Amino acid sequence: MSQLAGLDLGYGSQLQIVRTNYLYVATKSGDGGTNAQNATFLQLFNDALNVSQTGGGLHPLTCDYIIPLEAGSGNAEPTVTGAAAAGLLLPVMGPTYESLAQASGLDATASSAADQGSSSNGSIVAILALGLVNVTVSGGAITEAAGLDILGGTGGHVLALNSAIMSLGVDASVDTGVASGSALTGFWAMADVAVDLAASDGTPSVEVNTTPTSPVMKGNAAGTTATVLSDVTGHSTADNYHIISLISLARPY
């Protein structure tokens, strides 16, 4: 996620304006692959996105997390969420909900994501803006993008998400009463955003399970040719990639 500003200095400020980008992938049924493959897929997508980036820095839509339509298997990854759904909880910073509290032998007060709460993911004070973009990927290249209609009911997604975060903060039943308030506002639920994406993703066809399991990353010391998105044999599909870009006011702790 990119830090846009702070209410003092951006870095180290108690309140920060944060842009967080999520890559939604309409995974073909049965081809969700492992969480490690999803994390690699995210990196390869970002590499492809940044091939044509000019003006310095990373492309503004470089994604922080991947949201697969079908959940990956195996060990959790901090950049990989569970399967896309209205109730899926998403961070604006820090590790994904699914990757928290994976270690064994934790104290009872640190045995769930809600227990760790804002210490890992900060606290979302408000959602300021939300955008959805459909991205076309073909032959390992990101060729075009188009904005989606995201009215999100009578008040719009932003108002609905802010209300949802407020209600989540008092919903102690999420963690059987162990945590409440800001400890439960480190995440936002996809809600109607998931509905909009499902209506726009065509026939889910991305085969994440064809992502190389031993990728060669760009800039490796040996100078070996890096793995690229076109090395994922089942990646070229229409209407199967969307980017959610969320701008929030967050307290990082």
Q: What is the pLDDT of residue 106?
A: 45
Q: Which residues contact 82 (CB under 8 A, 6 or more apart)?
A: 71, 88, 96, 97, 98
Neighbouring C-beta atoms of residue 10, cutoff 10 Å: 13
Residue pair 139/230 in contact by the 8 Å Cβ criterion: yes
- Kindly report the pTM of this predicted structure: 0.87
Q: Which residues contact 162 (CB under 8 A, 6 or more apart)?
A: 126, 127
CA distances from 144 to 23, 61, 135, 136, 147 (A): 15, 13, 6, 5, 11
Q: What is the pLDDT of residue 183?
A: 64
Q: What is the pLDDT of residue 208?
A: 96
Residue 40 Cα to chain centre, angstroms: 14
The angle at the Cα of 36, spanning 21 to 120, to the nearest 5 degrees, equals 55
Residue 169 lies in domain: 2-251
Specify the number of domains making up the chain: 1
Q: What is the pLDDT of residue 231?
A: 93
45-57 burial: b if 16+ Cβ within 10 Å, else e: bbbbbeeeeeeee
- DSSP, collapsed to helix, strand or coil, labels residue 189 as strand
Q: Which residues contact 188 (CB under 8 A, 6 or more apart)?
A: 89, 90, 92, 124, 127, 161, 164, 165, 168, 246, 248
3-state SS of 196-235 is HHHHHCCCCCEEHHHCCCCCCCCCCCCCCCCCCHHHCCEC
Q: What is the pLDDT of residue 40?
A: 96
Residues of the chain with pLDDT under 70: 1-13, 101-119, 149-156, 169-184
Neighbouring C-beta atoms of residue 64, cutoff 10 Å: 21
